[in-house]
Amino acid sequence: MKRGPKARPGTKWRTAAQERVYGRRLLEALRATAALGPRAVKEAADSALAFTARGRSRWSRAILLSPRRKARLLLRTGSKIRRGRRRARAAEAGGRLRGRLRVLRRLVPGCRKLSAGSLLEEAADYVAALEMQVKAMRALADALSAAPAAAAAAEPGSRGGV
């Protein structure tokens, strides 16, 4: 895999180009999963995100390579969010770093057996990617849920300018 100088996740995911790339992929994904429900949409969005990451990070590979299993994991993460909070607090008692690292391992896909250092690295990339994903999805949802005419004017601007 060609690897240039490793860009920091904060800068790598925040470029407009990256957002455009993801936006397009997201749209394709949405088209493919039209009317299949929010879960499919989420899966598609996550897969698109992982694809945009080009599989360079472990979490993206995990999402891409076993979407069903990892998809279920992601789904569970969704439902477990409230529980996860409590677990995070409980983990505090369990040992300051260890417990929290465990929680983090569960949150970031594909990082179950990583060392602390690599886990943090993956987490950084994942956080940056997630932020971009949220931004893109929000823009898309806003644009699409506005009146079509308004969206027509807004979308090209938003997608291009984002």
Partner 1 sequence: MGSAGSYGVGTGNSGAYVTEISEPARFEEEIRSLIQARFDAPPVSGGSFTALLGLSANQAVGLLHEPGAGEISAPAASSSPTGLGHPLGCSPTFPSNAALAERAASFPVFAAADSPASSSDGGPSPPLKAEPPDPDSSPPLPVPIDKPRRPAKRKDCEKQKAKGPGKKIKTAEEHTEGDQLPYVHVRARRGQATDSHSLAERARREKINARMKLLQELVPGCSKITGTALVLDEIINHVQSLQRQVEFLSMRLAAVNPRIDFGGLDSFLMAERGPLAASNGRGEAALDPVSWSSDPAPGTGLRTDLRPSQQSSTAWVYPYALIDHGTSLFGYGAANSVPLNSNQSKTDL
Indicate whether 12 belongs to the interface with partner 1 (CB under 8 A).
no
Residue 7 makes contact with partner 1 by CB under 8 A: no
Q: Which 32-61 residues touch partner 1, going by CB under 8 A?
A: 32-48, 51
Here the tokens at position 113 are: 């057996």
What SS3 state is found at 35?
Answer: coil
Query: Would the CA dihedral through 44, 24, 28, 64 be positive or negative?
Result: negative
**What is the smallest separation between the CB atom of 129 and partner 1, expressed in angstroms?**
9
Is the Cβ of residue 1 or residue 82 nearer to partner 1 in the bound state?
82
**Cβ atoms < 10 Å from Cβ of 86:** 10
Residue 132 CA to residue 16 CA, distance in Å, equals 10
Taking CB under 8 A as the rule, does residue 88 contact partner 1? yes
Provide CB contacts within 8 A for 51, sequence distance 6+. Answer: 25, 60, 64
Window 111 to 150, contacts with partner 1 (CB under 8 A): 116-117, 120-121, 123-124, 126-128, 130-131, 133-134, 137-138, 140-141, 143-145, 148-149
Under the binding rule (CB under 8 A), the answer on residue 1 touching partner 1 is no
Is 110 a binder of partner 1 (CB under 8 A)?
Answer: no
